[in-house]
Amino acid sequence: MNQNTGTATLSSFDTGEVQTSTYYPYDRLIHIVAGEATIHVDELSNIVKTGEILIVPAHVKHWIKANKRFKML
């Protein structure tokens, strides 16, 4: 799903894989479906695991690193 107000995407990452720094014009809700990742939001690092949710505010740079294989929605 891709709308002006946001998108819905299921992504999977292998251990050590990194999603480069990015930002969006809308809040980003990240739900970890399986596995574990570190999500860096500005200067803060957040370890998120299966079942946990993190909200990244609009216009804030962030990047993701897979600590283990993981899937996110």
Contact 37, 73 (CB under 8 A): no
pTM greater than the 0.75 cutoff: yes
* 20 CB-contact burial (10 Å; exposed 0-12 / middle 13-18 / buried 19+): exposed
Tell me the mean pLDDT per 10 residues along the chain, length 73: 77 94 90 96 94 94 96 95
